[in-house]
Structure 1
Amino acid sequence: GMLVAVTAGRVKIYRLLPTGRSVTLFLFVPGDVFSKTRLIQSYQNIANLGFFDTPLPEPDVQPSDAEGDVNITFKVKEKRTGNINFGASVGQGTGLGGFIGFDQPNLFGKCKKGSIQWQKGQYINDFNVSYTDPAILESNYSGSITGYHSQSRFTIQNIGQSTTTGGQIQFGLPVAGSRYTRLFLNYGAEAVKYGSDGLVGTISACTNKAGQSSTCFRSTVGATLDHDTRIGMPFPTEGVYETVNAQFNGGPLGGSARYSRYTGEMHSYATMATLGGNPAQGSGMPVVLGLSTRWGALFGDPGPFFVSQAFAMGGVQYGEPLRGYPEFSITPQGYI
Structure 2
Amino acid sequence: MYLFKAFTRKGARAAYLAIAAFALLVQISLVGAPAAHAEVVNSIVVQGGSRIDSETVRNYITIEPGKNFTSEDINASVKALYATGLFSDVKIARRGNQLVVSVSENNIVGSVKFEGNKKLKDDMLTAVVETKPRGVLSEDRLQSDVERLKELYKRNGRAEAEVSVETFPRDTGRTDVVFKINEGTRTGISSINFVGNKTFSSGRLRNIMTIKKTNFTSWLSKRDQFDDAKIQSDEELIRRFYMRNGFADFRIVGTDVAFDEAKNRYSITITLDEGARYRFGTVMVDSSIPDVDGNALMRYVTTKPGKIFNATQVEKSTEAVSVALLEEGKSFAQVRPRGDRNYENHTINLTYLVDEGPRLYVERLEIRGNTRTRDYVIRREFELSEGDAYNRVLVDQAERRLKNLGYFKTVNVTTQPGSSPDRVVIVVNVEDQSTGSFSVGGGYTTDNGGGFIATVALTEKNFLGRGQYLKVSLGGGQSDRTFNLAFTEPFFLGRRMSLGFDVLYNQAQETDYRPYNMNTAGGTIRLGLPITDDFDVQFNYKLYQRDVTSWGSQYILDWPAFAELYPQGSWINSSIGYVLTYSTIDNYQTPRNGTFLRLSQDFAGVGGDGQFVRTQADARYYKEILPDSDVVGLVRAAAGNITSLGGEPVQVLDNFYRGGETVRGFASYGYGPRYVGVEDTYAIGGTTYYNASLEVQFPLPVLPEEFGLRGAVFADAGTLFGYDGLENLDIEDSSMIRTSVGVSIIWNSPFGPLRGDFGQWLTKANFDQTQMFRFSAGTQF
3-state SS of the aligned residue for 1:47?
helix
Verify: 1:82 aligned to 2:426, yes or no.
Answer: no
2:655 maps to 1:310:
yes
Residue 164, structure 1, aligned to residue 520, structure 2: yes
1:1-336 equivalence runs, <5 A: 10=357, 14=362, 15-18=364-367, 20-26=376-382, 30-35=388-393, 41-53=397-409, 75-92=429-446, 93=449, 95-153=451-509, 155-175=511-531, 178-194=532-548, 195-197=550-552, 202-204=562-564, 207=567, 213-231=568-586, 235=590, 239-250=594-605, 253-269=606-622, 291-300=635-644, 305-307=651-653, 309-316=654-661, 321-326=662-667, 327-329=670-672, 330-332=719-721, 333-335=734-736, 336=765
Structure 2 distance, partners of 1:96, 1:154, is 16
| Structure 2 residue aligned with 1:279 | none
State the distance in 2 between where 1:270 and 1:23 align.
36
Secondary structure at the counterpart of residue 334 of structure 1: coil
| Kept after mapping to 2: 8 A contact 1:48/1:231 | no
Contact 1:186/1:221 (<8 A) preserved: yes
SS at structure 2 position matched to 1:80: coil
Q: Is the CA contact 1:119–1:125 (under 8 Å) kept in the aligned structure 2? A: yes
In structure 1, distance between residues paired with 2:626 and 2:395: 23
Letter in structure 2 aligned against 1:248: F
Structure with higher RCO (Cα < 8 A, 6+ apart): 1
Match for 1:262: what amino acid? T
User: How far does residue 156 in structure 1 lie from its aligned partner after superposition?
Assistant: 4.5
Query: Per residue, is there more strand in 1 or in 2?
Result: 1
Partner SS, residue 243 of structure 1: strand
Paired residue total: 304
Query: For residues 290 and 73 of structure 1, what CA distance do their matches in structure 2 show?
Result: 42
| Superposed CA RMSD | 4.1
Percent sequence identity over aligned pairs: 20
2:634 and 2:382 mapped to 1: Cα distance? 27
Could you tell me how far 1:49 is from its partner in structure 2? 1.1
Give the Cα–Cα distance (whole angstroms) in 2 for the partners of residues 164 and 236 of structure 1: 33
Structure 2 residues not aligned, in runs of 5+: 1-331, 335-354, 368-374, 673-718, 722-733, 737-764, 766-781
* Structure 1 stretch displaced more, 5-14 or 149-158: 5-14
CA contact (8 A) 2:516 2:566 kept: no
Deviations 1:112-156 (A, max 9, x none): 111111113221111111211111243223211111111123535
Structure index of larger Rg:
2
Which has the larger helix fraction? 2
Letter in 2 for 1:315: G
Q: CA offset at residue 60 of structure 1?
A: 6.2
**Secondary structure at 1:46's aligned position in 2?**
helix
Separation in 1, partners of 2:634, 2:356: 38
Q: TM-score, normalised by structure 2?
A: 0.34
Equivalent residue for 1:210?
none
Contact 1:13 1:28 in 2 (8 A): no
CA distance 1:271–1:47, shift in 2 (3 Å): farther
| Residue 101 of structure 1, CA deviation | 1.5
Structure 2 CA distance, aligned partners of 1:193 and 1:40? 52
Change (3 A) 1:28 1:228: farther
Where does structure 1 lack aligned partners over 5 or more consecutive residues? 208-212, 276-284
**Superposition TM-score, scaled by structure 1 size:** 0.72
- Distance in 2, Cα, partners of 1:10 & 1:71: 17
Shift, 1:82, TM fit: 1.1
- Kindly tell me: are residues 99 and 109 of structure 1, through their superposed partners in 2, closer, same or farther at Cα, counting changes over 3 Å? same
